[in-house]
Amino acid sequence: MADVGSSAPIHPAVRIGHVHLKVSDLDRALGFWRDILGFEVMQQRPGAVFLSAGGYHHHIALNTWESAGGPQPPRNATGLFHVAVLYPSRAALGGALKRLLTAGVTLDGASDHGVSEALYLRDFDGNGVELYVDRPKSEWPLDSEGKLSMSTRRLDVDRLLAEAA
């Protein structure tokens, strides 16, 4: 790989704007992203749908352009590990957990990382999904040198459910 000649970090205001997922069946995928998680359909085209939270043009796009009727990718293949959806509060994340449980969606895990609390699951196409809430930066755990010290501890999902919006 060519040396680009710069070790300057990316601009701190850069954000990841949206994720575009290949799915096997649009209606089935909408059953997860729209009907369970609650994303709003902003636009639908042949073979694709664009979903949003809060009226943005799209946060999640789903398409069947190359994947209609296709199998789930094997877990030991390269590709997307998960898409992470940031919730604004613990109450909102608790509400999402309540919707998942009501719909019979099984969690792969639930973790407290010190900087955030997260739920891990798979959509109906086997794509990894993380639903999480960040703690305020002032509460992030630091080591003795003042560097970030993330961890993975069991998340108290009962307490999270109790805070559901």
Q: How many domains does the chain have?
A: 2
Within a domain: residue 76?
no
Residue range 66-92: average pLDDT? 94
Within a domain: residue 7?
no
CATH number assigned to the domain comprising residue 48? 3.10.180.10
Q: How far apart are the C-alpha atoms of 113 and 155, rounded to whole Å? A: 9
Within a domain: residue 145?
yes
- What is the predicted pLDDT for the residue at 92? 96
When pLDDT is cut at 50, 70 and 90, the band that residue 8 belongs to is: confident
100-136 pLDDT, tens per residue?
Answer: 999 999 999 999 999 999 999 999 999 999 999 999 9
Per-state percent for the chain, helix, strand, coil, to nearest 5: 20, 30, 55
When pLDDT is cut at 50, 70 and 90, the band that residue 3 belongs to is: low
Find out whether 90 and 160 touch, Cβ atoms under 8 Å: yes
**Are both 87 and 63 inside the same structural domain?**
no
Supply the range of the domain harboring residue 62: 16-68
- Using the Cα atoms of residue 111, residue 92, residue 103 and residue 21 in order, give the sign of their dihedral: negative
Mean pLDDT across the chain, nearest whole number? 94
Within a domain: residue 136?
yes
